[in-house]
Structure 1
Amino acid sequence: MLWQTVLLALGLARFTLAEFVLADNYPIASFFDKFDFFNESDPTHGTVEYVEAQTAVSEGLVRTAGNSVYMGVDYSNVIPSGGGRPSVRLVSKNVYNHGLFILDLAHMPGGICGTWPAFWMVGPNWPYNGEIDIIEGANTQNQNDMTLHTGPNCSITDNGEFTGTMPSWLTDCNAAYGDYNGCQIQATATNSYGAGFNQAGGGVYATLWDSDAISIWFWSHSGTVPADIVSGEPDPTSWGEPLAMFQGGCNIDNSFKDMQIVFDTTFCGDWAGNTWSGTCSNLAPTCTDYVLNNPSAFTDAYWIINSLKVYEDYACT
């Protein structure tokens, strides 16, 4: 219908003034040089031991292979009670304010009981400078959750300009007073996360963060990734409606500042552990019991990254 065409045109008009140039590449050969290895206790109380760089390399948890990067977890050893399964959490050395972030993955760790992987961005003094969860899920989940966490006075509304689903009870992004749910938009396609994502050969996530909104697109490798992304000249105006658009009662620039890129795979904790009683409870009495005593269950709990690139609006460079 004509009115629907007009609304879509108006929705995409917000992207038309931007011309994006490559600001930060993460070359495969030197990928890990651009990250710090976080090796403190897990802030989300997971059954995990985040290891530093030397251990990650020597234990085979990270490596480059051809044109891709591998990041995995220990899947060989039973872990003593009170310990955590070795894994990695990478935090970018570079800090960002706005940008177009494009991640091409061949594989992710999701869809496995006990796991809680994420690709996300976070600012200092959490949650007052924001968190953007681009890829996230727990246990056997097969659809991606995209979530914001902020300080007070940030909420989102369904503007009808994205293809995901916004639960009515997840529109307040405020995490400052102990409500860690945040505001969320959920994918509906089963190739957006976990086993379905991997069976389709992975895919590409693009996240545009500017003063107006935070928008996320996804393309499965079983389909067609836009040619402008492949050529290194991304043009969001040609991509159609995003999977998610976070916009509404939120001053984006006040709520999201000085963000770093993070990859991690944790186990159990505040999400995967607290939802263990669903599809996974037949495997062990608790999530922690299962994670510590079943190393081979996590053979496929790994990331394979084909590329990560950050673009900036030419007008802002």
Structure 2
Amino acid sequence: MIMGLAFILLASLLSTAVLCSPTERASYSLVDNCTGSSSFFSCFDFFTSRDPTNGHVRYLSQSDAQAQGLISASENSVYVGVDYKNKAPNGRPSVRLQSKKLYNRGLFILDLAHMPASSCGSWPSFWSWGSETAWPGSGEIDIIEGVHTNTVNAMSLHTAEGCSISGTGLAGRVVTKDCYVHATGQTENAGCGIESASGSSFGTSLNSVSGGVYAMEWTASAIKIWFWPRASVPAALGKSNPNPSEWGLPDANFAGNCDFNRHFKDHRLVIDTTFCGDWAGVVWDSNPTCKNLAKSCQDFVANNPGQYAESYWRINSLKVYSQ
């Protein structure tokens, strides 16, 4: 009788294992839906401290951003912009949003109608990190990032020592493989970087195709990023339980010799637009278009407000899923 019962239990387990295919096990459930006037800004805190990347920027509080017209929301989308009307010798007013919640793994999907244009001096990004004090020990994931006239997205990870990627299983172009911020043979703080395969993935090029959708999957074994321009967004993305295994090759596949549970933990999501600073400011002279406009990045950003009328995010939704 006992042996018979054990056989029945074993058969039941095997049956369940067969029914629950790898595809089914990979599905996700919605945990946070940040959309429009009803919920988007309630998902975030407004960061108002000194810019950790040393940009020529002043981040405003929610009330100040509202009063100056830098944020607004409708039922289906939100606007997050910068000051484009006034000279800004002390830093251009902007907004930096940081999620109230901390995340450890998950699926993050950002639907964009518009992002800051490819303008000299600008440095917009959608990313996540542990905190300034913990950096780089708790890691950084740059999902959308670029500077100046860039029109192709740059995705990267930044970590403490001991994390690298193989550079396989992706559609994008691998730029660097060592995620350590002080890696030998790489530019300081380059991390492991991958350039998008899509020419419509960033700034002005993304806006010209009516935006698109970014998805980042963070698991214990890899961090993957997909991008679809508006006309190519798959219908499967709208499922209540999205399944990345159905999406094909990711733009970026950060997998390899890395303990992701150790190097990435307790992340806040960040959406911001800064100017100049540790990246855009440093490479100003290496961009011929921008270099000819002013003697420095800071001078140009301070004295040419009208250049930033298109430096805004128009966000349809940000959704976070958990397995």
Superposition TM-score, scaled by structure 2 size: 0.88
Give the structure 2 partner of residue 65 of structure 1: 74
1:79-126: CA deviation from partner (whole Å, max 9, x where unpaired):
23xx00000000000111110000000001041110000000111301
Match in the other structure for 1:10: none
> In the aligned structure 2, how far is the partner of 1:188 from the partner of 1:238?
19
User: Structure 1 126/214 Cα, relative in aligned 2: closer, same or farther at 3 Å?
Assistant: same
Does 1:25 pair with 2:33? yes
Counterpart code for 2:180: N
Q: 1:54 aligns with which of 56, 63, 78?
A: 63
Give 1:248's match in structure 2, choosing from 256, 276, 294.
256
CA distance, structure 2, for counterparts of residue 219 and residue 187 of structure 1: 11
The answer to whether 1:210 aligns with 2:215 is no
CA-to-aligned-CA distance 1:105-151 (integer Å, 9 cap, x gap): 00010411100000001113011001000000000001000000011
Q: Deviations over 1:161-183 (max 9, x none)?
A: 1100002xx21111268931111
SS at match of 1:148: strand
Q: Do 1:110 and 1:116's aligned partners in 2 also have CA atoms closer than 8 Å? A: no
For the 8 Å contact 1:132–1:149, the answer to whether it is kept is yes
Letter in 1 for 2:213: V
What is the SS of the residue equivalent to 1:218? strand
For residue 43 of structure 1, report the CA deviation from its aligned partner: 1.0
1:143 to 134, 152, 163: 152
- Following the alignment from structure 1 to structure 2, what is the Cα–Cα distance between the partners of residues 231 and 224? 16
Specify the alignment match of 1:198 in structure 2.
207
The answer as to 2:232 corresponding to 1:224 is yes
> Is 1:288 aligned with 2:298?
yes
1:93 aligns with one of 67, 76, 100: 100
Contact 2:164 2:178 (C-alpha < 8 Å) held by counterparts: yes
| Whole-angstrom CA distance in 1 between matches of 2:136 and 2:294 | 34
Give a deviation string over 1:274-313, Cα, whole Å, max 9, x none.
1111131111111111100000000000000001100111
Moved over 3 A (4+): 13-16
Aligned counterpart in structure 1 of residue 179 of structure 2, from 173, 176, 194: 173
CA distance in 2, matches of 1:173, 1:55: 37
Q: Which has the larger radius of gyration?
A: 2
- Quick one: which amino acid aligns to residue 309 of structure 1? K
What code does the residue aligned with 2:223 have? I
Q: 1:27, 1:93 → 2: CA distance?
A: 15
Cα offset for 1:263? 0.3
What fraction of aligned residue pairs are identical, expressed as a percent? 49
Aligned to 1:126: 135
How many residue pairs get aligned? The number is 295
Taking the aligned partners of 1:147 and 1:311, their CA distance within structure 2 comes to 21
1:266 alignment partner in structure 2: 274
Aligned to 2:314: 304
Residue ranges of structure 1 left out of the alignment (5+ in a row): 1-12
**Aligned AA (1:107):** H
Alignment-mate amino acid for residue 96 of structure 1? Y
Specify the code of the residue in structure 1 equivalent to 2:30: L
Q: Is this contact kept in 1: 2:35–2:77, CA < 8 A?
A: no
Q: Secondary structure at the match of 1:36?
A: strand
CA distance in 1, matches of 2:173, 2:137: 25
Post-superposition offset of 1:25: 1.1
Cross-structure match for 1:37: 46
Which secondary structure does the structure 2 equivalent of 1:300 belong to? coil
2:83 alignment partner, SS class: coil
**Alignment-mate amino acid for residue 75 of structure 1:** Y
Q: What amino acid is aligned across from residue 297 of structure 1 in structure 2?
A: Q
CA distance in structure 2 between the aligned counterparts of 1:225 and 1:40, rounded to whole angstroms:
37
Q: What is the CA-CA distance between 1:65 and the residue it aligns to?
A: 2.7
Deviation (angstroms), 1:211:
0.5
| Amino acid across the alignment from 2:232 | T
* Greater mean deviation of Cα atoms: 184-193 or 201-210: 184-193
* 1:114–1:273 Cα contact (<8 Å) kept: yes
Q: Which residue of 1 aligns with 2:197?
A: 188
Counterpart AA for 2:261: D
The AA in structure 1 aligned to 2:74 is: A
